[in-house]
Every structure is written in C-alpha cells, then in structure tokens.
C-alpha cells in the first residue's frame, strides 16, 4: 500500500525537471494551447508545433491559429509539456516564430492579438490574402488595435499564401514548410487549412484545418437562386491522397463543433460527428487512414457536448479511425 501510494509522486518528480522525450520515433511535437470552439477565453483554438530531432522537440515553434497563447503556455509548463524552468514571456517572444491564421474570427486570434505589444519583431503572420486583409483592415487599423503590421509598428510582416499553388514554401526561422488550402466557413466566407511538412524530411507532414462546414452544406446561392457547391474539402482530400498512400501524413487536425443532432441549417460553417465521418470516408476511400491520427478540435463548450461528440465518433463501428481529443497543455507526439 505504502509503495503504491508513493508511485505517482515519484513519477511526477521524475518528469518535472527533464525536457520532454519519447521512446517511439516521432517527427513533430504539438502543444495545444487552447482546444475549445468558443466562449472559454482562456482555452481557444491554438496549437504550437515544432519538429523533433532524436525524439526531442526543436526550439523553433509555429502557432497554428492563436485563440489562446499566454494562458496555454502556463498550462503547458504546469503539465510538463514545456520544462519547468521555462519563462513564458521569453518562450513567447523567442520560440514562437510565426502565426499561421486559418481565418480572422476572434476565437482564432484574440490571444495572439492581445499579446502583440510584447512580441519580438521579425515574425510573419501567414495566411490567405483574404485573412491577412481582414487582420490588416479590421484589427491592425489603429482603431481596433495598433497597427503591428509592416505599414505600422513593423512587429510582423505578412506572408500571403496562394491556394492555387501546389508547392510548399518555407516558414522563416524554422525547418518547416507550408502549403495552404481554401475551406468554406459559411460560404462565401473563407477559412483555410495548412499542410505543414519538414524541410529536411519530406516524408512527414500534418494537416491543420481551420473551421469548416461540410461540402454538401456549404453552397453559394446567386441572386437568381442558382446554387453552386465549391467542395473545397473534396478537392483537398484529392490533393493530399498521395501523402496518405505514401504513409507520410501523421495527423489531421479537424473541427467538430456540435453533436450530430444539430440541423444542417444551424451549422454556421461547422462540422458534427456525422459530417466529419462523411468527410473522412471520402479520404479513406482512396487509402486507409487508420494510421493517421485524427485530432478533433473546436468542440463548443456547451454542457455535455464533448462527451456526446466523443461517443458519436467512437460509435462508428465499421471504420477504424484513430481519434484523439486534445487537452489544453498536454503534448502530442506525431
């Protein structure tokens, strides 16, 4: 009894002082800084990612969205995902090298925006032209917030990515490359996905999606009532199919905001378990994705929603998808 009750204590001491390491070979290290799809302002979409060398995380991180930054870093230190002697301010300034913003909604930007006054200059904000234009015109306009962009205080430069390009481009001051895809998030409002790959190891990549609705729901209605469906998810699944076949895609970060009962006319550009499974089946039809970790993001913090969504995704008896439900501050090795 005595030995058993001491065991957790001994384990926590053993991990506290050490840098995170892992025994199974990995390519990436991810720290979720915030995981909910709204309301909890200390826990909003933001995922740090870096490459690993010999199963040790490298020092140059990028942030995929920036809903919650500082509080998430504090939780990451508490949970030993960053070493216990990490100074959050120094880490934020020195080790987050770029912000990749999927779309301009505040639940994906607020933590980043509020921390801009203390940030180190020379970093890039990376995204679609449409997203960067909103940040420039509606946040960095010297009214909503000071202009931290290249025409103002110059803390950040903008890196506009072209969704029609099939190339991955380097992210400055990191060993990572990025390619962007368009997504619909209440058409015609655009969101985007980032394919992150290692420059030195082209066989390892992860796909991070911002908010998106299902292809069958996201439509454009013209004034004369003719309707078209952009089907951006379909197009992206086709584009990443070779990576799945070559066993190079480690993970897909994808949203599920509401339980499956949510009617299609109230999705507001989001997915449910039912719709996520429909979309994953399309990709799985090209090649089994059972080895690809499906990291479920952006669950709305309504009472009981998380438990219900987990049950609805796991109750998917004839497919073998590898779902992961991230927790704030708890690292994921990929």
Contact set with Zn ion (CB under 5 A)? 105, 107, 211
Count Cβ neighbours within 10 Å for each residue of 202-228 and write b for 16 or more, e otherwise: eebbbbbbbbbbbbebbeeeeeeeeee
Residue 129 interacting partner from Zn ion, ligand NAG, none (CB closer than 5 to 8 Å by kind): ligand NAG
- The sign of the dihedral angle between the CA atoms of 181, 184, 187, 189 is negative
Residues 120-179 that bind ligand NAG (CB under 6 A): 129, 133, 160
Nearer to ligand NAG, 182 or 306 (CB): 306
Examine residue 311 and tell whether it contacts ligand NAG (CB under 6 A). Answer: yes
Nearer to ligand NAG, 130 or 239 (CB): 130
Listed ranges 13-21, 86-94, 145-153, 310-318: which one lies at the site for ligand NAG (CB under 6 A): 310-318
Examine residue 315 and tell whether it contacts ligand NAG (CB under 6 A). Answer: yes
Q: Is 227 left (phi over 0), alpha (psi -120 to 50) or beta?
A: beta
Instruction: Tell me how far apart the alpha carbons of residues 215 and 184 are, in angstroms, rounded to a whole number.
Output: 8
Burial class (CB in 10 A: 0-12, 13-18, 19+), 315: exposed
Nearer to ligand NAG, 36 or 155 (CB): 36
Spatial neighbors of 303 by CB under 8 A, at least 6 apart, are: none
Residue 212 interacting partner from Zn ion, ligand NAG, none (CB closer than 5 to 8 Å by kind): none
Spatial neighbors of 199 by CB under 8 A, at least 6 apart, are: 170, 175, 176, 177
Contact pattern for ligand NAG over residues 188 through 227, marking x by CB under 6 A: -------------x-x--------------------xx--
Residue 85 interacting partner from Zn ion, ligand NAG, none (CB closer than 5 to 8 Å by kind): none
Residue 167 interacting partner from Zn ion, ligand NAG, none (CB closer than 5 to 8 Å by kind): none
Instruction: Tell me how far apart the alpha carbons of residues 120 and 156 are, in angstroms, rounded to a whole number.
Output: 9
Residues 30-89 that bind ligand NAG (CB under 6 A): 35-36, 43, 75
Please spell the DSSP secondary structure of 185-241, one letter per residue: SSTTSEEEEEEEEESS-TT-EEEEE-S---TTT--EE-TT--EE---HHHHHHHHHH
Residue 211 interacting partner from Zn ion, ligand NAG, none (CB closer than 5 to 8 Å by kind): Zn ion
Residue 76 interacting partner from ligand NAG, Zn ion, none (CB closer than 5 to 8 Å by kind): none
Binding residue count for ligand NAG, defined by CB under 6 A: 19
Under DSSP, is residue 252 helix (H, G, I), strand (E, B) or coil?
strand
Binding site for ligand NAG (CB under 6 A): 35-36, 43, 75, 129, 133, 160, 201, 203, 224-225, 299, 301, 306, 311-312, 315, 327-328
């Amino acid at each position: 009894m005595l030995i058993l009750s001491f065991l957790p204590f001994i384990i926590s001491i053993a991990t506290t002082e050490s840098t995170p390491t892992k025994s199974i070979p990995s390519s990436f290290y991810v720290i979720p800084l915030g995981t909910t799809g709204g309301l909890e302002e200390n826990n909003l979409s933001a995922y740090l990612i870096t490459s690993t060398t010999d199963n040790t995380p490298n020092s140059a991180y990028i942030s995929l969205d920036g809903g919650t930054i500082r509080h998430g870093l504090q939780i990451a230190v508490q949970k030993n995902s960053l070493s216990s002697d990490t100074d959050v301010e120094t880490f934020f300034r020195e080790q987050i090298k770029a912000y990749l913003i999927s779309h301009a909604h505040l639940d994906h930007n607020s933590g980043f925006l509020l921390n801009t006054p203390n940030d180190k200059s020379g970093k890039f904000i990376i995204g679609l032209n449409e997203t960067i234009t909103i940040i420039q015109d509606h946040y960095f306009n010297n009214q909503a917030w000071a202009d931290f962009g290249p025409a103002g205080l110059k803390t950040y430069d903008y890196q506009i990515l072209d969704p029609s390009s099939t190339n991955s481009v380097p992210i400055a001051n990191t060993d990572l490359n990025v390619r962007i895809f368009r997504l619909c998030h209440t058409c015609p409002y655009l969101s985007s996905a980032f394919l992150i790959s290692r420059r030195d190891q082209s066989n390892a990549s992860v796909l991070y999606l911002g908010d998106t609705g299902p292809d069958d729901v996201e439509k454009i209605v013209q004034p004369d009532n003719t309707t078209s469906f952009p089907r951006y998810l379909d197009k992206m699944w086709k584009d990443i199919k070779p990576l799945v076949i070559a066993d190079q895609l480690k993970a897909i970060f994808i949203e599920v905001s509401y339980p499956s009962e949510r009617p299609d006319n109230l999705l507001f550009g989001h997915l449910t378990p039912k719709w996520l499974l429909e979309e994953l089946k399309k990709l799985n039809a090209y090649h089994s994705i059972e080895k690809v970790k499906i990291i479920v993001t952006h669950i709305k913090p309504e009472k009981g929603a998380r438990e219900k969504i987990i049950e609805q995704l796991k109750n998917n008896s004839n497919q073998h998808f590898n779902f992961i439900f991230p927790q704030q501050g708890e690292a994921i090795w990929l």
